[in-house]
Structure 1
């Protein structure tokens, strides 16, 4: 049986990290139906793992994160019904990623096109090799860019979204960084170190607070300002249903007292 997706877990002092790789290197990790089904099922399982602090998603090999939807499969679609089923699978992957409580980091290591860029946009954070190329080339294949391409305007603005969707042009990792599509770019050899540095920062935060924050930010995407503020009040209240805030603030105050004992403030002048 072919394995289209692999996952490796690392248990660390403050929780667990899942490293997920799409295993379709021969076809630039193209998003075929078997790949998308496997990825969706995996993320449904990850969503149930309450010990999970972060997920890192990448493509196998060095050439591609996800080189797009599988054109060989799409060219064989018989008509609107099969087309709807195929594109719905792209959305299901993106929705499964967004529904995972832990932050998902896209480790973009090469070509990131079409469905691949939609999946990257569905992730919470994106770190990119400086050699990567990105784009939404669907219009060059007679198709619109759809489903989670709808996330792009909030990331890069309507003007740039129109440009890349109307022209189908590819753009560089440096462009993606300048536009705010990715959080950082690095030489390929330094990409894993950058991922580790970001994971270390995530592990400094309290786990449930991060999960509540992720869910709240997704609500913000669909709410007017008054509703977003009201949702934030609910989220703040929800945070206090466990001892996490009290414990974290007690630990912070203890560290502050210890620091003052080692380095007492100078005496106040009269």
Structure 2
């Protein structure tokens, strides 16, 4: 079950199944997609959080895999792909506020978000290999976050890692005491969510282009995106606001 709160242009999505370490079902994944895809128009950021202190999310509930056929597996992973694609390409800032366990699909969600902020007690891992399945989807981004050598270690061993280690590897934006996690997230949002929505959306589209297209194409698209934001009224407002603050 996911619970949602909209406050001050931020949508907080909470995984709320603490008795199962906030493990995800197919219904949860579909609900997550809907909550991301149909956020209010004024939304500037989405923050994912886990209920309780023990777990952000332990990933997909392993019960979902029992008796699964290849056709059912394709349907399941395709739904998860749609959810993660929506998070990664959302036109606003996306954040994982990680408390406790962040495993499997939950760590893939963290790879898909723009910012990753963890409590000191958080731990991360990709245990799929121990379940008998490969890590897929946004795991493809892990080598960009921590390098190929570390990515192979994480995906081929299934080990868990404390937040401090993932922070040293460059995977996290910040690590905070548990009781300061939400406040730390808000400080990051104060520095990002107030920016022009047109500029944020354009920058995020460019990240997708830069990751997926050759350099020449990336440069051409950059020119188009730069020119395009000047069709937005808020661009002129942002320019004048910046000039006034100098």
Q: Distance in 2 between matches of 1:203 and 1:165?
A: 33
Of 54, 58, 61, the residue aligned with 2:52 is 61
2:152 aligned counterpart, secondary structure: helix
Q: Distance in 1 between matches of 2:143 and 2:14?
A: 27
Q: In terms of Rg, which structure is larger?
A: 1
TM-score (structure 2 length as normaliser):
0.96
Q: Distance in 2 between matches of 1:113 and 1:136?
A: 6
Is the counterpart of residue 23 in structure 1 residue 20 in structure 2? Answer: no
Moved more, 211-220 or 239-248: 239-248
2:118 aligned counterpart, secondary structure: strand
Of 190, 208, 212, the residue aligned with 2:180 is 190
Is the counterpart of residue 202 in structure 1 residue 199 in structure 2? Answer: no
2:168 aligned counterpart, secondary structure: helix
1:214 aligned counterpart, secondary structure: helix
Instruction: Determine the structure 2 residue equivalent to 1:265.
Output: none
Q: Distance in 2 between matches of 1:124 and 1:218?
A: 12
Is the counterpart of residue 112 in structure 1 residue 102 in structure 2? Answer: yes
Instruction: Determine the structure 2 residue equivalent to 1:38.
Output: 31
* Contact in 1 for aligned 2:91/2:201 (Cα 8 Å): yes
Q: Distance in 1 between matches of 2:172 and 2:80?
A: 21
Q: Distance in 2 between matches of 1:175 and 1:86?
A: 31
Q: Distance in 2 between matches of 1:45 and 1:208?
A: 18
Is the counterpart of residue 233 in structure 1 residue 223 in structure 2? Answer: yes
Instruction: Determine the structure 2 residue equivalent to 1:5.
Output: 2
Q: Distance in 2 between matches of 1:203 and 1:147?
A: 27
Where in structure 2 are the equivalents of 1:39-188 lying within 5 Å? 39-46=32-39, 49-77=40-68, 79-188=69-178
Cα distance change on mapping 1:73 and 1:251 into 2, 3 Å: closer
Instruction: Determine the structure 1 residue equivalent to 2:236.
Output: 246
Q: Distance in 1 between matches of 2:17 and 2:79?
A: 17
Instruction: Determine the structure 1 residue equivalent to 2:210.
Output: 220
Cα distance change on mapping 1:141 and 1:203 into 2, 3 Å: closer
Q: Distance in 1 between matches of 2:238 and 2:132?
A: 53
CA displacement at 1:97 relative to structure 2: 1.0
Q: Distance in 1 between matches of 2:193 and 2:211?
A: 25
Gaps of 5+ in 1: 257-270
Q: Pick 1 or 2: higher relative contact order, CA cutoff 8 A, min separation 6.
A: 2
Q: Distance in 2 between matches of 1:133 and 1:253?
A: 43
Q: Distance in 2 between matches of 1:5 and 1:51?
A: 21
TM-score (structure 1 length as normaliser):
0.87
CA displacement at 1:225 relative to structure 2: 1.4
